[in-house]
Amino acid sequence: MSKETGKLTPESFIGDIFRQRPLAPNPSAPIPAAFVRSPSWHPFLYRKRIDRIDKAKPGDLLAVYGPNDRVLGYGLYNPRSEIAVRMVFHGEELPDNAAWQSKLDEAVALRRDMLRLDDVTDAYRLIHAEADGLSGLVVDRLGDVLSAEAYTLGMYQRAEAILARLAPALGTKFSVVRPSPQFLSQEGYEPPGFASDDLPQEVTIREYGTRFRVRFVGGHKTGFFCDQRENRKRLAEFCEGRTVLDLCCYTGGFAVQAKCLGKAAEVTGVDLDEEPLKLARENANLNQARIRFVQDDAFAYMREMLRLDRRYDVVVLDPPKLIRCRAELEEGTRKHFDLNRLAMRLVKPGGLFLSCCCSGLLKEDDFVKLLRQSAYQAGELVSAATEETAERHAARPMQFLARTGAAADHPVSATVPETEYLKAVWMRVGL
């Protein structure tokens, strides 16, 4: 991989710290070591849990020793990160290329053999970090492209080797790797992204017969939100002949599927960012779908619709990640509350409201509690707008229909509950 795409270029490496490495270490060379106080099945080993590190360089695969100097497994090391070691393999045997290949084969088999995703889409997650035993790396298959996002130095250094092993199994032709937006703050380095020489600027993928364009420079994450695939299909089941509002629509996933799969009578998508909206319009045109897209702040748009007394049969609220760290928890939770309070008021009596949250730090129970409080506030405001002497305790009636999360190609690890991040709550809103 060497093509420069924006700032994507491995030739811009400074020193050896960002150089790509083979997966398996040299079995004849000394293996660096970390010594921990107590064993754990969780892959994160924080600095405070580690007694000492012997002869390890940033990104090294090292042996992790527990009590009585017994080898617990092998992990990737970064001295600049609070999570100093990310476990990748458990057990005493030094992982070779076959061990890495087995882990990758298992991930591919889940998506292709068990979930049979190739029957309905050519866009899905292949590697879901800790849930697939590869902490610090996510990989999406997007048509002919493998698109990876690295969260850790160790996985960044091995991304090229991993993608090279995945490509033959999928029949993909191109690859792109980018560091996560939080790489510098969490890992202490700022590596460049890189891509295969002939990476196309965009590809067209399919999802239940609907087509979407994906661009690889300037987009969020790996380029397309595969995690909402099942929720997009489920929402379409409620849309036939109805009016739909997709708030924070990004490149139009929910909006386009509401029209194409759901046969909605009228669909409006709203987003603040100009570039995603351009792609959303292209996605609508690609499928010959008439959708109205509006560039506006979600708060401002909702207040204007309320002023105009405009309501919708189906409202989707899928904001970007509002809580990226614990310091943002209070402010981000308040933003979620304010967004939901306004969005609920735009739902016609008896209509459907789908509210989503992709912030893993906001727990599902807290999110549902927030939605209950939002319904109370929304009911209070509706009453005050229709009755001069409204009672303050009246809440807008709301029924919870279902709670869903990310599609099954984003599995949740039994030992890492943090991998369950996406929350989608389905509600029927009353008067």
Cα separation, 156 vs 158, whole angstroms = 5
The pLDDT tens digits for 355-395 are: 999 998 999 999 999 999 998 877 655 555 554 444 444 56
φ, ψ at 27 (rounded to 5°): -65, -20
Residue 45, pLDDT above cutoff 90: yes
Q: State which H helix or E strand residue 240 sits in.
A: none
Beta strands in 254-322 (DSSP E): 266-271, 292-295, 312-317
φ, ψ at 102 (rounded to 5°): -60, -40
Q: What is the mean pLDDT of residues 342-347?
A: 96
Q: What is the pLDDT of residue 363?
A: 93
Q: What is the mean pLDDT of residues 107-132?
A: 97
Cα separation, 415 vs 274, whole angstroms = 40
Q: State which H helix or E strand residue 148 sits in.
A: strand 145-150
Cα distances from 27 to residues 32, 94, 393, 416, in angstroms, run 12, 8, 70, 30
Amino acid residing at 129: A
Beta strands in 144-229 (DSSP E): 145-150, 174-179, 194-195, 202-207, 210-215
Q: Are the CB atoms for 177 and 159 separated by under 8 Å?
A: yes
Q: Are the CB atoms for 86 and 135 separated by under 8 Å?
A: yes
Closest to 154 in 3D by CA, of 234, 58, 223, 271: 58
Residue 224: other Cβ atoms inside 10 A? 27
Q: What is the pLDDT of residue 218?
A: 64
**312-317 vs 347-357, strand pairing mode:** parallel
Sign of the C-alpha dihedral computed for residues 268, 201, 121 and 148 taken in this order: negative
Amino acid residing at 386: T
Q: Are the CB atoms for 2 and 141 separated by under 8 Å?
A: no
> Which residues does residue 415 pair with via DSSP β-bridges, in sequence order?
none
Q: What is the pLDDT of residue 4?
A: 42
Lowest mean pLDDT among 63-67, 74-78, 323-327: 323-327
The pLDDT tens digits for 288-313 are: 999 999 999 999 999 999 999 999 99
Q: What is the pLDDT of residue 69?
A: 87
Closest to 213 in 3D by CA, of 140, 142, 318: 142
Q: Are the CB atoms for 31 and 63 separated by under 8 Å?
A: yes
Cα separation, 297 vs 307, whole angstroms = 15
Residue 81: other Cβ atoms inside 10 A? 23
How crowded is the C-beta side of 142, counted as CA atoms within 13 Å?
A: 29
**Between residues 88 and 381, which one has the greater pLDDT?**
88
Q: What is the pLDDT of residue 382?
A: 52
The pLDDT tens digits for 210-255 are: 999 999 876 555 578 999 999 999 999 999 999 999 999 999 999 9
- For residue 47, what pLDDT band results from cuts at 50, 70 and 90? very high
Q: Are the CB atoms for 252 and 224 separated by under 8 Å?
A: no
Closest to 17 in 3D by CA, of 141, 270, 187: 187
- Domains, the chain, ordered by start: 10-16+97-200 (3.30.750.80), 33-90 (2.30.130.10), 225-429 (3.40.50.150)
Structure tokens at 81: 């990160």
Q: What is the mean pLDDT of residues 23-43?
A: 91
Closest to 250 in 3D by CA, of 222, 229, 270, 230: 270
Report the percentage of the chain scoring pLDDT > 90.
Answer: 82
Q: State which H helix or E strand residue 39 sits in.
A: none
Closest to 231 in 3D by CA, of 427, 430, 405: 405
Which pTM was predicted?
0.89
- For residue 123, what pLDDT band results from cuts at 50, 70 and 90? very high
The pLDDT tens digits for 147-197 are: 999 999 999 999 999 999 999 999 999 999 999 998 999 999 999 999 999
Residue 24, pLDDT above cutoff 90: yes
* Average per-residue pLDDT for the chain: 91
